[in-house]
Amino acid sequence: MPPADDTTYEIRTATPEDTARVEALDGSFTTTTVFRVEMAENGFTLRETPVHPPLTKVFPEDEEEEEAEEAEEDGAKEGNPTFLAVAPDGSLAGFVSVAYARWNRRLTIEDIEVAPGHRGRGVGRALMSRAEEFARERGAGHIWLEVTNINAPAIHAYRRMGFALCGLDTSLYEFTASAGEYALYLSKPCR
C-alpha cells in the first residue's frame, strides 16, 4: 500500500548512531477496541469489543530501554538488524528489529513501531516488507511476532499483512506494568 500522501521513506539498516532516535520513538497507541480472550474447555476465543473511553497504552521507559539493550546485545551477537524508515526531512518514521533463529528457520519480529505522525501511510508495511526480505535472505520458513491483546490497531494491521493467530500466553505480562493483558502470537509463512 503506498503512502497516503505520496511521501517516500528511505528504508535502511540502523547504525549505532541511530540508537538514541530508536529509543526516543513514541510507540504508544490509542484504541477504541480490544480483543478479549475468552477461555473455553479446549481452547480460547478472541472477541473484539469496544472500549469507552478509548484506551491509550504508553509503554514504560524502563521496559523499552531494557528491551532495546537486549535487542542491541542480541543483534551484536547474532547479526540481527534493526531497519529504519526515515522520512524525507530526516526524522525517524519507524523501525523494526528482527532476530533470526537458524534451528527452526524462524524470523522473529522483536519490535516494530511507527511514529504517530506517520501511521496510516504504509510505513509499517514497508518495514515489514524489509523484514520479510531479510527473512528470505536467511532462508526463514516463517515470521513470528508477539502482540498484546489490547493493541487492536496492530492486530488488524498484522492480519492485513497475512499474519494469523498461532498461540496465546495468559501469564507473559503477569508481573509487569501490563498485568491483565494477554500475549497473542501471530505467524505467517515466508515465501
Provide the pLDDT for residue 33.
98
Q: Is the pLDDT of residue 84 over 50?
A: yes
Read off the pLDDT of residues 3-29 as tens digits, 9 standing for 90 and up.
456 789 999 999 999 999 999 999 999
- Name the more confident of 175 and 72: 175
Provide the pLDDT for residue 77.
42
* Cβ proximity of 142 and 106 under 8 Å: yes
Full-model pTM: 0.88
Label residue 2 by pLDDT band (50, 70, 90): very low
Q: What single DSSP character describes residue 8?
A: P
CA of 171: how far to CAs of 41, 148, 182, in Å? 18, 12, 7
Question: What does the radius of gyration of the chain's CA atoms come to, in whole angstroms?
Answer: 17
What does the pLDDT average to over 125-153?
A: 97
Read off the pLDDT of residues 29-79 as tens digits, 9 standing for 90 and up.
999 999 999 988 888 999 999 999 999 999 877 654 555 555 444 444 457
For β-strands 29-40 and 43-57, DSSP reports them as antiparallel
